[in-house]
Amino acid sequence: MSDKTYLDWPFFEAPQRTLAADLDAWASANLAHLDHGADVDALCRDLARRLGGGGWLRHCVPAAYGGASENIDSRSLCIARETLARHEGLADFVFAMQGLGSGAISIAGSEDLKRRYLPRVARGEAIAAFALSEPDAGSDVGAMTTSARRDGDHYVLDGGKTWISNGGIADFYCVFARTGEAPGARGISAFVVDADTPGLEVSERIELIAPHPLSSLRFTNCRVRAAQRLGESGQGFKVAMQTLDIFRASVAAAALGFARRALDEALARAKARKMFGQTLADFQLTQAAIADMATAIDSAALLTYRAAWLRDVKGERTTREAAMAKMAATESAQQVIDRALQIFGGLGVVSGYPVEKLYREIRALRIYEGATEVQKLIIARETLKAS
Ligand code: COS
């Protein structure tokens, strides 16, 4: 039984507590026996439909466009991701991408774009993707070279994107490209590009240690209507950063869900495993590990829900707090899962055991949506700025 006492913390109100209980029950009933041998793309499409059918994806978009609350509620996003990650990492991935992939539309889209895309995202009928990174512009977003040249009432996109989650199964991509108003971060704009737009192709499929759809994209003379632009031209970098400010805290929540599952598995194992005439849990060395794991989890939870609460309730920009949560929660979850695996001994590295899967699943979270090193940069900048 996973620790739920954190739900009593003052960060939450009734809707988040209800969401935690209802989604936990739904996940127990619906995600227990996912066939990981099946085609991962088909599995993700199916999960999007089921998460949409269950009403859970409504937490990824604002209420006016089929969402659950007036503005995207960070605490609900975090509760949903934590709960899904604790049950099934792939379901968390699908949920997260519907939010991240459509976040730029919620933040900066015209009324027409919001109406055309967001309700379908919330129902799981349209799969979303966020196309920011390039081979030479991952951490340094301002170095991107994919270009969008204005041509009458169209833009013409040329270049390449990589590390694009949902690449290949997405129905649309929020693409960031250089429109050249200024060098670096100040000359970028954002666009919604439908997957079937001529000139857009999936150029490479990338296989991962914890499989999910991931691809590189190629844009060749790809004509996109100017009305598909998100926000003002030249403001794309800020739209990307605002989107990441929301979703980075939710990455922390996903790490928290993985860590909680690892602790649950480790506790059950430590209590059941007999050796030297007692159980593994009776050894002080095991207890020291459990103490470290439990404390790391609560520390990560406090940072995560502080960031979410600040954004929802105080309406503050949470660049620093989201970066702290993302860094601390992903780094400590890696250690918690490693400790859990150690408690399982040899079984921990056997394919198919939950801790083995968690060990593969957690690693990417320390890299994507801003590696730990980038989070440090952000935290230091914001701290220096405030001093
Ligand atoms: N919200 C709103 N505006 C922001 C912002 C935020 N969180 N962060 C930066 N900006 C604004 C700045 O205020 C600045 O505005 P002005 O032009 O008005 O001065 C502008 O954006 C440029 O910001 P900055 O100078 O800080 O840009 P840098 O190129 O130095 O980039 C980092 C800074 C490293 C923080 C940024 O590139 C980053 O977050 N990189 C990681 C990206 C990432 O997560 N990649 C993974 C891809 S997603 S899977």
Q: What is the pLDDT of residues 92-147, one digit of tens each?
A: 999 999 999 999 999 999 999 999 999 999 999 999 999 999 999 999 999 999 99
What average pLDDT does range 54-59 have in this prediction? 98
Name which residue sits closest to atom 44 of ligand 1, judged by CA: 370
Structure tokens at 219: 């844009």
Q: In this predicted structure, what is the pLDDT of residue 261?
A: 98
Catalytic position from the list 232, 369, 373, 382: 369
Tens digits of per-residue pLDDT, 295-343?
A: 999 999 999 999 999 999 999 899 999 999 999 999 999 999 999 999 9
CA 193 to chain centroid: 21
Q: What is the pLDDT of residue 38?
A: 82
Task: For residue 253, give the nearest of 328, 310, 164, 340 by alpha carbon.
Answer: 328
- 251 neighbors 330 (Cβ within 8 angstroms): yes
Decide if 72 contacts 133 (C-beta within 8 A).
no
- 374 has which bridge partners? none
CA distance 35 to 39: 9
Please tell me the distance from the alpha carbon of residue 318 to that of residue 315, in angstroms, as a whole number.
9
For 225, residues 6+ apart whose C-beta sits below 8 A from its C-beta are: 153, 154
Place of tokens 């970066």: 323
What percent of the chain clears pLDDT 90, i.e. is strictly above it? 97
Flag whether pLDDT at 1 surpasses 80.
no
pLDDT computed for residue 183 by the predictor = 95
**Catalytic residue flag (residue 369):** yes
pLDDT in tens, 219-248: 999 999 999 999 999 999 999 999 999 999
Give the nearest ligand 1 atom to 244 CA: 44
What are the distances in angstroms from CA 56 to CA 19, 23, 44, 81, 284?
A: 9, 8, 15, 10, 42
Question: Could you please report the per-residue DSSP string of 218-232?
Answer: EEEEEEEEGGGEESS
Pocket of ligand 1 (CB under 6 A): 132-133, 138-142, 184-186, 237-238, 241-242, 244-245, 319, 368-370, 374, 377-378
Q: What is the reported pTM?
A: 0.97
Q: 237 alpha carbon to ligand 1 midpoint, in Å?
A: 7
Instruction: Work out the end-to-end distance of the chain between its first and last CA atoms, rounded to an integer number of angstroms.
Output: 44
Centroid of ligand 1 to alpha carbon of 10 (angstroms): 31
